[in-house]
Amino acid sequence: MSREKATISNEVHDVLVARWEGFKRLAKKLPNRHVLAVELIRTPDDQTVAVFTTVRNGEPIRTIVRGDAHGRVKPSSDDHCHAPDRAATMAMDARFAPEGEEVDPSIVAIADPPPKQPGTPGIIAVAGNALSGVFDVAELVDLAAK
């Protein structure tokens, strides 16, 4: 691993920790169920991911909802259980990826910290609308049209 790769890896970790600390401070000021962040991401394996950071009991929590290439939610009651393991693998891949190899851009939104929470029906419904709206419908819109 090159010295530059190690520095980038440390910088990514610092960003993860700084973002989470900011969410923790903000969550103390807001009531339950307030949304702190929503991130919509396409992964290198042509899947889609919605990451919701919300407030529960004065603390931020993060929920991950996965979808197919068109943003259709993939039903999985235990996705949150596997997310930290997958995130740890992605983090290791990012740290040790040889020059020029692909690194998953979702690592900043999905990697640890923090731990993930199980999805609630409400978040899964909102995520389904957001994922399909962005990754199915929006890809068909010609943004250059006048």
**What residues does each domain of the chain span?**
3-140
CA 122 to chain centre: 17
E strands in 9-143: 35-42, 48-56, 59-67, 116-117
How many Å is the maximal CA-CA distance in the chain?
Answer: 47
Does 94 score more than 60 pLDDT?
A: no
Mean predicted confidence (pLDDT) in 64-83: 71
From 40-49, 106-115, 121-130, the region with the lowest mean pLDDT: 106-115
97 vs 12, which has greater pLDDT?
12
pTM over 0.75: no
